Structure 1
Amino acid sequence: MDPTLRTRIISDIKEGLPALPRRLRTVAKYVVDHPSDFGLDPIRETARKAGVSTYTLVRLAQRLGFGGYDELREPFRHALVSASAGVDQPEWIERLRENGRLGQIQADASMNTLAIVQRSLECQVPEQMQRVVEMLLTACTVYLTAVRASYAMAYYLHYVGRMALPTLQLIPRHMNSAIDELHSAGESDVMVAITFTPYSRETIEACKFARRKGVKLILISDSEIISPDFSADETIIVSVLSTHHFGCYAGSTALIDTLIALLVARGGEAAKARIKSYEDLRRENHVYWVAQKKR
């Protein structure tokens, strides 16, 4: 389920509202004004509340490009389930709402982020996270792949994670494809793939190729199944539900931070020594450039 679909449907309805016939305009306005009720109620109840026939609801769904009423309602139902993280609204959120329209938008976005992070972290099973850490630490090579928006998270995981996991490689490199980088991979290796709806064809192809090579696969995604052509050894689910026209990746970033913390703890003194080595190198580099500027 596309986490931005509900938001885009509402936006499309608002934009096309003036051109709709009167009864379709009535039900369209009801959907915009009462998205939660629309996601919860069966078709007959929605028709009663909106003051239209069930046929009018079906016509609206078809007008918007959906196969039927249930298909139109599903993104609204999904949003209700995914947003129910149970985050208490702190006082600073209330204070934001007192600062006009933009303050209200900032408050809603902040609550959305808090809910996504909580939902993403609370569903992680310690036993699975421990299995994932063991797979990563015992692999000869750990390949890490993602494209487009997901690439930012893969880059962050690689940049920080390699201090605790020196076998970590971000692919593709040098304008190659991920499949090129997996040419010599085998059963002693692991690949971590990060992808969220709409799932990238490049990542799916890399996963399929890795599985054919016998590579163990860890998937970080918003769904257990991103393709019927393969299955992962471990799938870590995070929420990317967004109140915006774009996905929110705060949950996946929080998950990656947790994974890195587990790798550092499991890596012991060796991992801590590598982190210190990186920090010392950065410090020395900073001192060098400060000295160069003074010349």
Structure 2
Amino acid sequence: MATATHLAELQQQIRHRYHDLSKRLQQVAHYVLDNPNSIAFDTVAVIATHANVPPSTLIRFANAFEFSGFNEMKQLFRKNLVEETSSYTERARLLQNAQGEERELETPSDILQQFSHANTVALQELSNAIAPEQLDAAVDLLENAETIYIVAMRRAFSIASYLGYALRHLERRVVIVDGFGSMAAEQLALVGKNDVVIGASFSPYSPETVDLCEFAATKNAKQIIFTDSQVSPLAANSDVCFVIKEAEVESFRSQTATLCLAQSLAVSLAFRLSRK
């Protein structure tokens, strides 16, 4: 079993293995699933008291899910809580206040250096993580689609904006499902088996994007997905699923790698069409 990298993935592992755990570990599992905010910011001693177990049991629980210690597991809960806070000011406050930790990012220059470095690493990892067969399959789907629907809301909307711009310049028929006027379902209503849906969402996943991609699956539309985990709710119905590890600085995530991949697909399609 691989160590979970997202809270939703860990929670799924806990639920799946719950009945195989000892009674003590089941007790911890129950508390962990029901009290994510406590796990994120309370001390190990406080959590152990509330869960009515010794602190050593928390460590055994974390080890059972391939973490080196309970504090390592706690980071998934803290990260998720920060990501679900839509206000960037509130995110910064949560991070600064977390257990009195001192932050290393003091100036705009510090932040720029951290993001530049993190994005450089993410881009280097991108080409190694994406199989050539996936790229070829995605370009095939885009080339043969009657209509390309792009479903990428909230933080992922910049992906939709770029792909809409690029694919229209390639004379593709494109519909950006933006939900304007609460009309998202109507915008996707005519999707069919000869169409392609490009879906993009990252933890915490946009419920609108998940629902729309599930609807597209009922219409047998092909799907190209941009997401961050193999257990993402978008992955199940995908024909091509790109799992992208974005750069992250103190729970503020970039989109550089995803945009690079989107641009690569659009330019690859341009070269293919030019040869024909």
- TM-score tier, shorter chain, comes to 0.5 to 0.7
Q: Give the secondary-structure state (helix, strand or coil) at the position aligned to 2:172.
A: coil
Counterpart CA distance in 2 for 1:175 and 1:117 is 36
Maintained 8 Å contact 2:121/2:247? no
The Cα of 1:74 is off from its aligned counterpart by 3.8
Maintained 8 Å contact 2:119/2:247? no
* 2:127 maps to which of 109, 121, 131: 121
Q: Give the secondary-structure state (helix, strand or coil) at the position aligned to 1:240.
A: coil
* 2:263 maps to which of 231, 249, 257: 257
Maintained 8 Å contact 1:185/1:215? yes
Consecutive unaligned residues in structure 1, runs of 5 or more: 4-8, 26-53, 63-67, 78-99, 271-295
The Cα of 1:24 is off from its aligned counterpart by 5.7
**Distance change >3 Å, CA 146–CA 245, structure 1 → 2:** same
* 1:216 maps to which of 213, 218, 222: 222
Counterpart of 1:73 in structure 2 is 72
Counterpart of 1:287 in structure 2 is none
The Cα of 1:2 is off from its aligned counterpart by 4.5
The Cα of 1:164 is off from its aligned counterpart by 1.7
Counterpart of 2:101 in structure 1 is none
Q: Which amino acid aligns with 2:55?
A: Y
Counterpart CA distance in 2 for 1:250 and 1:75 is 27
**Distance change >3 Å, CA 181–CA 111, structure 1 → 2:** same
Residue by residue over 1:193-216, the C-alpha shift from the partner in whole angstroms, topping out at 9 and shown as x without a partner, is: 011111110000001100001111
Could you say what the CA RMSD is over the residues aligned between the two structures, in angstroms? 3.4
Counterpart CA distance in 2 for 1:210 and 1:74 is 35
Runs of at least 4 residues off by over 4 Å: 68-72
The Cα of 1:241 is off from its aligned counterpart by 4.1
Q: Give the secondary-structure state (helix, strand or coil) at the position aligned to 2:245.
A: coil
Maintained 8 Å contact 1:240/1:251? yes
Counterpart CA distance in 2 for 1:254 and 1:69 is 34
Counterpart CA distance in 1 for 2:153 and 2:72 is 30
Counterpart CA distance in 1 for 2:69 and 2:140 is 43
Counterpart of 1:280 in structure 2 is none
Counterpart of 2:115 in structure 1 is 109
Maintained 8 Å contact 2:201/2:209? yes
Aligned length: 200
Alignment of 1:172 onto 2:171: no
Counterpart of 2:195 in structure 1 is 189
Q: Give the secondary-structure state (helix, strand or coil) at the position aligned to 1:186.
A: coil
Alignment of 1:202-213 (within 5 A): 202-213=208-219
Q: Which amino acid aligns with 1:147?
A: M
The Cα of 1:170 is off from its aligned counterpart by 0.9
Consecutive unaligned residues in structure 2, runs of 5 or more: 8-36, 47-53, 77-104
Counterpart of 1:85 in structure 2 is none
Alignment of 1:2-151 (within 5 A): 2=6, 55=55, 58=58, 72-74=71-73, 102=107, 103-151=109-157
Counterpart CA distance in 2 for 1:195 and 1:116 is 18
**Distance change >3 Å, CA 239–CA 267, structure 1 → 2:** same
Q: Give the secondary-structure state (helix, strand or coil) at the position aligned to 2:252.
A: coil
Counterpart CA distance in 2 for 1:129 and 1:165 is 20
Alignment of 1:239 onto 2:238: no
Maintained 8 Å contact 2:118/2:248? yes
Counterpart CA distance in 2 for 1:229 and 1:121 is 20
The Cα of 1:150 is off from its aligned counterpart by 0.2
Counterpart CA distance in 1 for 2:171 and 2:150 is 12
The Cα of 1:178 is off from its aligned counterpart by 2.9
Q: TM-score, normalised to structure 1's length? A: 0.58
